[in-house]
Amino acid sequence: MKTVLLCFSFMFCNLFGIYAQREISFVEEYIDFEINTEKFVINGVYLFHNNTNRDVIQKITFPFGISTDSVTVNRVWDLTNGESVDYRVLKESIAFSIKLNPGDSLSLNIVYSQPIKKENRYILRSTQSWGEALKIATYSLSVKGFSVDQFSYTPDSMKENIYYWQKKNFLPEKDFIVVLK
Tell whether 156 is covered by a domain.
Answer: yes
CATH number of the domain residue 89 falls in: 2.60.40.3680
Mean pLDDT score of the chain: 90
User: What tens digit of pLDDT does each residue of 141-154 get?
Assistant: 999 999 999 999 99
Note whether 164 and 155 are within 8 A (CB).
Answer: yes
What is the percent of the chain with per-residue pLDDT over 70, rounded to a whole number?
A: 88
Q: What's the pTM?
A: 0.86
Domain count, the chain: 1
Residue 87 placed within a domain: yes
pLDDT at site 120: 96
Confidence class for position 4, pLDDT limits 50, 70, 90 = very low
Indicate whether 31 belongs to any domain: yes
- Residue 6 domain flag: no
Is it the case that residue 68 has pLDDT exceeding 50?
yes
Residue 67: inside a domain: yes
Confidence at residue 18, expressed as pLDDT on a 0 to 100 scale: 42
Per-residue confidence at 161, pLDDT binned at 50, 70, 90?
confident
Give tens-digit pLDDT for 95-128: 999 999 999 999 999 999 999 999 999 999 999 9
| 16 belongs to a structural domain | no
52 domain-assigned: yes
Do the domain assignments include residue 10? no
Containing structural domain, residue 64: 23-180
Residues 6+ apart with CB under 8 A from 94: 61, 62, 64, 68, 73, 76, 87, 88
Give how far Cα 26 sits from Cα of 6, 62, 151, Å. Answer: 32, 12, 25
| CA distances for 144 relative to 42, 80, 108, angstroms | 14, 32, 27
Query: Distance (Å, rounded) from C-alpha 9 to C-alpha 6?
Result: 5
CA-nearest of 171, 152, 173, 172 to 163 is 152
